């Protein structure tokens, strides 16, 4: 049986010395991220092999188990060779077929990363790497039928391939339970792993030598892993009753960013037929940012490959300081550099980076405009051209209060009584920052890409997720502090709220009727989109009509709001569409921001939480600029 209660296990392990109330509150802080992910990593438990799940794929024979929602589940199926040794920092290769029957009862290892509740991995040893480079596995959830009743031909079920989030530096497909979606709507759900952090995204000239091809040299190994998983789906999903000619890719956050990248990648052409981006974007890094030193004429990022090499040489005492390390690197041949990098263990490589304390994610260059897998120029321009991307029906959307998840962990915004009980320092400022950052995210992650794609296709659909019915806990109103925050739509899409005992603080009995009803509607829309390429009125035909985005008629419905009846219900609207320029202009004229200092607070937050409004633009932001409030010394306290 597959239960998603790992989040509670993590919380109990880490905070076992605290009182019951302290554990409860600490759990809440973690589950604000984990609980929103749609499925906690399962507790290790006995799974009973079901002979009826026997399937013969092109890769080999598998047998799985029955999941908690009555679906079949096959876990830990390899879709690529382990990217070990010489295959590290290379494009993935097809997995070797196996002989005999593979008992697919356990998830494969997570990819190498720092542990975090967001990634669904044990945080008892925070800051110490976990996972393996041997991690390219996927999980399949399908309606429960005997082998002789697996549908074929036109009766096959749509396939939905989930791409997890986690900043492209943490996460695992095991965190998400596709069983309810599969069983309720007769679809095949596939959740995948892909290389994250410096193993999924790394470019250096020394790795582009003899024997490499243009894919090896791209550095976009994570995108190539996802493409390889889609190739596996194409070749094997028919054995589970899935239709390889009807594949929907869907993902959240970094996974949604990767959905956009798959729309742009020519190597992914024909491998999927619908796409859903939940709180994504078109964020990319340049080759210079990925490779150069920070003091080069075209500066690299702090964690560029050359800066990482400098740190490794100093750590190994092969150089006394940065200057000496740069001199030594200049004297090393490409072969020597490659040998040095490949001689490092996966944990040694990862420990050259410093994770963010709250999330364990790494701020490193990723998603490269390499000119082979992904375009070197503005991706939004590609989405506006009929021949610029893999044109398929798309759903894109964001959450109304995306950034409250991140503001909630900011001590400048939230104080904690006895280090635990949260209290807002300035509720009005908190809400304004969240509003503008989320509006900017909606512009960059949904509305502007939708408008670009709508220029060449009709079947573009946009949503905003508005659910914000969290309870009060110890005087903290979580509906205000978190609301419709980043990632909170995922359990509604999967129809899976069983995240362990501690999550009951968040998903309470009081909000259960509304959230279950909304989840039923969202699952119905997502499944109907997988079947037909349009969400319409959902699978049951009883939901409000979800109209396509329309660039030409301002009064027509632009997007659908997903909410419970208590807050207006599911409804279409033309009010609230966003552009980045419009959001920036609104800051200057908002009467709730009477002083320039107030306006610069919003601009400051946009720099921190947006890849498209940068620190370089901050001093001249708006009509009057923010030079009087330097970025590094912005006066938060008064």
Same domain? For 622 and 487 the reply is no
**Domain presence at residue 638:** no
Q: Which two tokens stand for residue 181?
A: 């979606």
Instruction: For residues 403 and 431, state if they share a domain.
Output: yes
Confidence band of 124 (pLDDT split at 50, 70, 90): low
Cβ atoms of 377 and 369 closer than 8 Å: yes
Question: How much is the average pLDDT of 122-151?
Answer: 92
Confidence of residue 117 (pLDDT cuts 50, 70, 90): confident
Domain membership flag for residue 130: yes
Determine contact, residues 313/178, Cβ cutoff 8 Å.
no
Q: Is residue 365 part of a domain?
A: no
* DSSP string across 96-134: PP--SEEE-BSPPPPBSB---TTTTS--TTTTS-B-BS-
> How many other CB atoms are found less than 10 A from the CB of residue 306?
19
Q: Same structural domain for residues 498 and 595? A: no
Q: DSSP per residue over 146-195, as a string?
A: -GGG---GGGPEEEEEEE--STTTS--GGG---HHHHHHHT-EEEEE---
CA distance 499 to 492: 13
- Give the pLDDT band (50/70/90) at residue 7: very low
Is residue 481 a part of any domain in this protein?
yes
Instruction: Verify that 469 and 609 share a domain, yes or no.
Output: no
Q: Has residue 418 got a pLDDT over 90?
A: no
Q: What is the pLDDT of residues 305-357, one digit of tens each?
A: 999 999 999 999 999 999 999 999 999 999 999 999 999 999 999 999 999 88
* 8 Å CB contact between 341 and 329: no
Tell me, what's the pLDDT at 499?
Answer: 65
Q: pLDDT class for 22, splitting at 50, 70, 90?
A: very low
What is the number of domains present in the chain?
Answer: 2
- What residues contact residue 125 under an 8 Å CB cut-off, 6+ apart? 115
Rounded Cα distance, 445 and 457, in Å: 18
**596-609 helix and 427-442 helix, angle to the nearest 10 degrees:** 50
Strand duo 137-142 + 65-66: pairing: unpaired
**Residue 500: predicted pLDDT:** 58
pLDDT band at 127 (very low <50, low <70, confident <90, very high): confident
Residue 24 has pLDDT above 50, yes or no: no
pLDDT digits (tens, 9 = 90+) for 141-168: 999 999 999 999 999 999 999 999 999 9
Residue 241's nearest CA partner among 477, 428, 64 is 64
DSSP for 392-408 reads --EEEEEETTTTHHHHT
Per-residue pLDDT at 609: 84
Q: Classify strands 55-56 and 61-63 as parallel, antiparallel or unpaired.
A: antiparallel
DSSP reduced 3-state for 280: coil
Under 8 Å between Cβ of 40 and 5: yes
Q: Is the pTM of this model over 0.85?
A: yes
Structure tokens at 548: 């396509």
- Tell me, yes or no, whether 11 lies in a domain: yes
Taking residues 175-191, what's their average pLDDT?
Answer: 97
Which residues, in sequence order, are CB contacts of 181 under 8 Å at separation 6+? 141, 160, 187, 189, 493, 494, 495, 523, 526, 527
Could you tell me the CATH number of the domain that includes residue 48?
A: 3.40.50.1820
The residue among 521 and 552 whose pLDDT is bigger is: 521
**Lowest-confidence range among 261-270, 443-452, 606-615?**
606-615
Note the pLDDT of residue 474.
Answer: 83
Residues 467 and 601 in one domain: no
108 inside domain: yes
Together in a domain, 67 and 124: yes
Q: Give the C-alpha separation, 509 to 542, whole Å.
A: 26
Is residue 495 located within the same domain as residue 627? no
**Which of 578, 600, 617 represents a domain boundary (last residue)?**
578
Q: What pLDDT, on a 0 to 100 scale, did the predictor assign at position 502? A: 56
pLDDT band at 180 (very low <50, low <70, confident <90, very high): very high
In terms of C-beta density within 10 A (0-12 exposed, 13-18 middle, 19 or more buried), how is residue 258 classed? buried
Does any domain span residue 36? Answer: yes
**Looking at residue 503, what is its pLDDT?**
58
Residues 48 and 132 in one domain: yes
462 and 511 co-located in one domain = yes
Average pLDDT, stretch 453-459?
A: 95
Q: Report whether pLDDT(421) > 50.
A: yes
Res. 41: pLDDT tops 70? no
Contact 274, 393 (CB under 8 A): yes
Q: Does a structural domain hold residue 307?
A: no
Give the span between the Cα atoms of 183 and 67, in whole angstroms: 10
* Pair 544, 536: CB distance under 8 Å: no
613, 497: one domain: no
CA distances 341 to 320, 509, 596, Å, are 19, 52, 49
What rounded mean pLDDT belongs to the chain?
Answer: 90
Per the CB < 8 A criterion, the answer to whether 492 and 463 are in contact is no
Same-domain pairing of 487 and 572: yes
The tens digit of pLDDT for each residue in 265-296 reads 999 999 999 999 999 999 999 999 999 999 99
pLDDT digits (tens, 9 = 90+) for 244-256: 999 999 999 999 9
Residue 559 lies in domain: 1-81+90-198+219-286+374-578
Place of tokens 């026997």: 54
Query: Beta strand pairing status for 460-465 and 394-399?
Result: parallel
pLDDT digits (tens, 9 = 90+) for 357-366: 878 999 999 9
What percent of the chain lies above the pLDDT cut of 70? 91
Could you write out the DSSP letters of every residue in 467-499?
-----EETTEEHHHHTSS-TTTTHHHHHT----
Confidence of residue 123 (pLDDT cuts 50, 70, 90): low
Residues 557 and 619 reside in one and the same domain = no
Query: Is the separation of the CB atoms in 285 and 370 below 8 Å?
Result: no
With b for 16 or more beta-carbon neighbours within 10 A and e for fewer, the 66-94 pattern comes to bbbbebbbbbbbbbbbbbeeeebbbbbee
User: Residue 456, Cβ neighbours under 10 Å: how many?
Assistant: 15
Which of 168, 177, 282, 187 lies closest to 226, judged by CA? 168
d(Cα 84, Cα 541) in Å, to the nearest integer?
Answer: 49
Rg (CA), the chain: 24
Match 């109330």 to its residue by tokens: 21
401 with 484: CB under 8 angstroms?
yes
Lowest-confidence region among 24-33, 50-59, 225-234: 24-33
3-state secondary structure of 56: strand
Question: Could you give the 3-state DSSP secondary structure of residue 243?
Answer: strand
């Amino acid at each position: 049986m597959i239960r998603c209660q790992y989040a509670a296990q993590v919380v109990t392990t880490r905070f076992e010395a605290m009182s019951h109330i302290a554990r409860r509150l600490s759990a809440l802080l973690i589950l604000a991220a984990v609980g929103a992910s749609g499925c906690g990593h399962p507790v290790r438990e006995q799974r009973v092999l079901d002979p009826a799940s026997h399937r013969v794929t092109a890769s080999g024979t598998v047998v799985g188990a029955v999941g908690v929602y009555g679906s079949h589940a096959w876990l830990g199926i390899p879709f690529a060779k382990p990217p070990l040794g010489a295959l590290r920092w290379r494009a993935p290769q097809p997995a070797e077929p196996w002989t005999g029957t593979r008992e697919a009862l356990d998830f494969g290892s997570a990819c190498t990363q720092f542990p975090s509740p967001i990634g669904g991995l044990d945080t008892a040893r925070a800051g110490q790497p976990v996972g393996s480079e041997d991690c390219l596995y996927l999980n399949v959830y399908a309606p429960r039928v005997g082998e002789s009743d697996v549908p074929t031909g036109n009766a096959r079920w749509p396939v939905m391939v989930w791409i997890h989030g986690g900043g492209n530096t943490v996460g695992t497909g095991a965190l998400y339970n596709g069983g309810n979606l599969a069983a309720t709507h007769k679809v095949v759900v596939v959740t995948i792993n892909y290389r994250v952090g410096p193993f999924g995204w790394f470019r250096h000239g020394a790795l582009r030598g003899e024997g490499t091809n243009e894919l090896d040299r791209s550095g976009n190994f994570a995108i190539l892993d996802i493409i390889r998983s889609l190739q596996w789906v194409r070749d094997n999903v028919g054995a589970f009753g899935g239709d390889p000619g009807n594949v929907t890719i869907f993902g959240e956050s970094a996974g949604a960013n990767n959905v956009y990248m798959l729309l742009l990648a020519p190597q992914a052409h024909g491998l999927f037929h619908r796409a859903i981006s939940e709180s994504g974007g078109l964020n990319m890094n340049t080759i210079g940012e990925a490779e150069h030193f920070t003091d080069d004429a075209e500066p690299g990022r702090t964690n560029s490959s050359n800066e990482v090499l400098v740190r490794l040489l100093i750590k190994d005492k092969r150089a006394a300081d940065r200057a000496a390390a740069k001199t030594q690197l200049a004297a090393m041949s490409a072969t020597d550099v490659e040998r040095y990098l490949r001689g490092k263990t996966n944990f040694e490589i990862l420990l050259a980076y410093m994770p963010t304390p709250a999330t364990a994610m790494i701020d490193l260059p990723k998603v490269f405009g390499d000119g082979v897998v992904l375009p070197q120029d503005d991706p939004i321009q590609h989405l506006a051209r009929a021949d610029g991307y893999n044109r398929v029906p798309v759903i894109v959307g964001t959450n109304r209060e995306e950034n409250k998840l991140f503001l909630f962990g900011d001590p400048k915004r939230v104080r904690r009584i006895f280090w635990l009980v949260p209290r807002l320092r300035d509720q009005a400022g908190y809400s304004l920052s969240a509003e503008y950052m989320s509006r900017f995210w909606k512009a960059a992650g949904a509305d502007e890409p939708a408008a670009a794609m709508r220029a060449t296709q009709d079947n573009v659909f946009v949503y905003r997720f508005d659910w914000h019915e969290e309870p009060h806990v110890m005087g903290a109103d979580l509906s205000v502090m978190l609301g419709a925050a980043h990632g909170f739509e995922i359990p509604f899409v999967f129809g899976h709220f069983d995240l362990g005992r501690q999550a009951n603080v968040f998903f309470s009995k009081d909000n259960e009727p509304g959230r279950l009803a909304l989840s039923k509607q969202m699952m119905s829309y997502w499944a109907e989109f997988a079947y037909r390429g349009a969400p319409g009125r959902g699978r049951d035909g009883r939901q409000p009509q979800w109209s396509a985005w329309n660039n030409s008629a301002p009064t027509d419905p632009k997007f659908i709001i997903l909410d419970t009846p208590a807050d207006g219900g599911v409804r279409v609207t033309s009010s609230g569409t966003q552009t980045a320029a419009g959001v920036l202009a609104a800051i200057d004229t908002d009467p709730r921001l009477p002083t320039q200092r107030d306006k610069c607070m919003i601009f400051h937050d946009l720099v921190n939480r947006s890849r498209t409004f940068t620190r370089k633009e901050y001093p001249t932001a708006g009509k009057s600029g923010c030079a009087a409030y330097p970025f590094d010394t912005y006066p938060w306290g008064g």
